[in-house]
A and B are shown apart, each in its own frame.
Chain A
Amino acid sequence: MNFLVPLYLAGALAVAIPIYLHLRRRPPKDSVEFGSLMFLRPTPHPPVKRSRQLENLPLLLLRCLALLLLAGLFARPFLRGGEEELGKGATRTVLLLDTSASMRRDGVWQAALDEASGVIAGLDDADSLAVMAVADAPRMLVDFEDGAGAEAGRRRAIAASALEAVEPGWGGSNLGIGLLAAAEALGDAAVGEESSGTSRVVLVSDLQGGAALGSVAGASWPPGVEVELRAVEAREATNATVTVSPSVDPERPAVRVWNSEDSERESFTLRVGDRVLPAVVPAGESRVFALPGPVPEVSLVGDAHEFDNTLHLSPREPERVTLHFLGEGEPDDSGGLEYYFRRAFGGSDLLEPVFVDDLDEPASVLAVARPLDQAETRAVRAALDKGARVLVVVSSTGMAETLGDLAGTGEVPVVEESGGRYALLEGIDFDDPLLAGFRDPRWRDFTGVHFWRHRVIEAGDFDGARVLARFDNGDPAWLEVPVGRGGLFVMSAGWHPRDSQLALSSKFVPLLYSLFADRVARVGEARQFFVGDALPLEEGDRRVVLPSGERRRAADAPAVRADAPGIYEVEGEFRTRRYAVNLRRSESELKPLEATALESLGVPLAGGGSDPVDGAGTGKRSLRDREAESNQNLWRWAALGLLVLLIVESWTASRSGGSQAIPEGAPS
């Protein structure tokens, strides 16, 4: 019999406790508490035997045995087989290489490659090997099967050449997923094999503190798998990084500079365009610095590790949007439609409106509020066919022909309605994407908007038309009519004071913006992303320009994953969006991870994980001892025996205790 952790056998010394307790002179069995003894005189009684002797010997034996078994159980007993068994079973190894951005540090990658080559060189001829890389996600470089057929030397060459081809990326360190994938590969390889060879994962990494390990917490590991840590360390401990910080003033964005705890420097400079700002940040702290103005890039100078010192920003710039309003009257006539249209799409931080008068110029936002001639109708139809949404305001019955032409149905009857009583909107379809912005109960009250007059249009006159809102007399107020790839949004009443109060209500601007949501910039649109994120693409996006200058057609991929930091430009049909991609903040947390942190997550570390760098020195013998122990599982039998003992002990104790009377008058 051998023990894996013989130190626990010292726990057997605890048998002294029950022996002592059984030796102790016990008080007389009947004991009564009483309020006061002032009226009592002691009764003479036979003296209690004072000699010390063991009481209740069977119970004592049971208790001692239980303690001994407990100590043995913790010491993990196993039976060691003959030495010839030791040679049996080849080792199956997964070499897991961290390729996160932090491995780009000076000297770290070379040290990692050296370590990995050492692992490959140390393999026996019978051992099999797979090589994986992990950053945000695991990537298999050399499978077990790749080398299965080849001879030992060839297998090593395949692995070595795979190592040469791999380079550190810009992703985060998701070591948890990598470890699980490696364990899974080992588990898959072991299926169908009876060999009792050991399986191990050799993790070559800088083991940075920011590594994501959440996925290994509580994960179940295939039996017999061990994880060896090969930590590579950087020469310099100092690391500072720069991240985006929220700022109230869009004209003065802010950045936050973080300095690591073990940093030896605290004075850096921020390079913003051609300006240089001093940045003093004590070790272990962070400071916010306001930038002089919107810039696409900020660099931190003075830090030992360069990989995380550049911050890309996508400052908000007003977007140029061309608008075309085909209406009657002058733009500055406050009784007309265009006056309000121009003000709704006024210039702002988001929008730089360009109003055009020529239908030859492509317009992002197109509105029609007067009868069109043939040429104009053709031009608008062409835009509709390309997918544009056109707002049609039926401001008079004279627009019947134009409406019919645009919808492609021929002239539709349009009647003026003015019953003398104002109309209100009802039955608004808030589930429609165009009006979804008003779905919230706070915004959905349209009863404050009175319509003095409107035109009666029948929805049935158009193919596939949907009524999005009606007046309270049942006439359609807003219609959506699909035409070509685009569609018409038809309003049967104008927003100007002659027709209604719509232009004066708080609903007007949101309504116009939600109608043209895909044509104009949106508030709250995310523009800062991290490496590994999928960049949001929209329908109509044509291509994506990567930071490297490479152009990709957006149609080829539904989502573009950001692989490297920098500015990504997405060119859409109507606008170009710029997304800034940066490293995750956790990638800059370089303080080495303690092996105990992995152990506490249940990762089966080889050699107790006490010295991750010296993981290889644990020796095959202890490895095989472990294996023998985990195969034999003698501790389970010990635990079973312990349970039986405890049951017998309880039973014996209750029998011997049952004779004792419950003391009378015990105080409560």
Chain B
Amino acid sequence: MADPPPTRLLEPAALMRIRSLELRARIVVEGFLSGIHRSPYHGFSAEFSEYRQYVPGDDLRHIDWRVYGRSDRYFVKKYEDETNLRCQLLVDGSRSMSYGSTPGLTKHGYAATLAATLAHFLSGQGDAVGVTRFDERIVDYLPARNRPGHLRRLMLSLERPAEGRSTSFGEPLERVAQMHDRRGLFVLLSDFLAPLEELERQLGLLRARGHEVLVFRVLDPRELDFGFDRAARFTGLESGRQQFIDPDRARDGYLERFGEHQEALRGICRRTGIDFVLSPSDRPLDLALYDFLSSRTRRGPDPGRARPNLRRAS
């Protein structure tokens, strides 16, 4: 399946000029929906659960004609994910996320917009969405719900600035795992610019509880290529530490260490069965949404979730 071409409006730098997070999310989702055929996402949540009586306004495609033949009544097949998918968006709120080499476009802004887009998309199709913001601990927690007004609260929570002193995955992920007994989907949005020691254990813990996890690594393009050309005093946003760096001399070492870190992260995701998506903050958001959907489609429902006595709808 080829990537849909990004529209100019969906380029992050252009998109970030829209102040309202909610509006940004809507533009991405609607642009996405109008840009691709309906079928790619039609199938992924097709986990049949029960019948219900047809009411005018339901999609005719979902009427079960066999049931009609039997009972002479119209019934609609209801899909499990329509009500049962509970998605928790975990957004890194540490200060390193407030870095952005392009004016007006920070990693946190990108991550928040991506999270808002996912929330808008999922809530639009009837799924429950929640948000957890964390740095070294959980800063803000909104449980997964799907009710009027909840989306608005999510947006308000996502609009808060990233002010955390440092990033830690140990405690926040453990707490999140404890709080969620019912299986659900966790989307982790972070720059992962922190030691990874505890990450594997915590992600494994989430997986072991039956949750699905998807990791978006949001990075600034400068962090990927270290494209500075002038020697300067570099200040770490989280630590506040200052170092004199000559980019020409430091670049190779940086890229090497960064590559190692990235590989370690990918390795962790691979081992725990988690999809890893690298999202530079200049990458159009609808592509990120596409990644999300293709990950869901590719994986399909977990074997443990299928109900053998119910037929899967196509």
Contact = CB atoms under 8 A, between A and B. Distances in A.
Contacts of B258: 39
A46 to B, nearest CB: 9
B101 interface: yes
B191 A35 contact: yes
A419 interface: no
Contact of B254 (A31, A33, A39): A39
A353 to B, nearest CB: 68
B103 interface: yes
A45 B261 contact: no
A37 B99 contact: no
Interface string A231-265: 00000000000000000000000000000000000
A663 interface: yes
Interface in A48-68: none
Interface residues of B, number: 40
Given A35-B193, A43-B244, A668-B104, A663 B250 contact: no
Contact of A33 (B99, B103, B250): B99
Contacts of B257: 38-39
B106 interface: yes
Given A33-B237, A34-B236, A35-B96, A43 B231 contact: yes
A36 B245 contact: no
Interface string B89-104: 0000000111111011
Interface string A635-668: 0000000000000000000000000010111111
Nearest to B259: A39
Nearest to B219: A35
Contact of B237 (A41, A42, A45, A667): A667
B196 to A, nearest CB: 11
Nearest to B109: A668
Contacts of A164: none
B228 A665 contact: yes
B19 interface: no
A32 B234 contact: yes
A151 interface: no
Interface string A9-44: 000000000000000000110111111111111110
Contacts of A664: 101, 228, 230, 232
Nearest to B99: A35
Contacts of A32: 228, 232-235, 245
Chain A, interface size category, equals 20 to 34
A43 B101 contact: no
Contacts of B127: none
Contact of A28 (B193, B233, B246, B261): B233
Contacts of B244: 28, 42-43, 45
B236 A42 contact: no
Nearest to A38: B193
Nearest to B96: A35
A112 to B, nearest CB: 67
Interface string B181-219: 000000000010110000000000000000000000000
A39 B261 contact: yes
A43 B250 contact: yes
B243 to A, nearest CB: 4
Contacts of A39: 253-254, 257-258, 261
13 contacts: A28-B232, A31-B235, A32-B245, A34-B234, A34-B237, A40-B234, A42-B244, A43-B246, A661-B230, A665-B222, A667-B99, A667-B106, A668-B105
Nearest 6 interchain pairs by C-beta: A30-B232, A35-B99, A36-B193, A37-B236, A39-B257, A43-B246
Given A37-B241, A40-B234, A45-B231, 18 more contacts: A30-B232, A31-B233, A34-B236, A35-B193, A35-B223, A36-B193, A37-B243, A38-B193, A38-B194, A40-B243, A40-B250, A43-B231, A661-B230, A664-B232, A665-B101, A667-B237, A668-B105, A668-B106
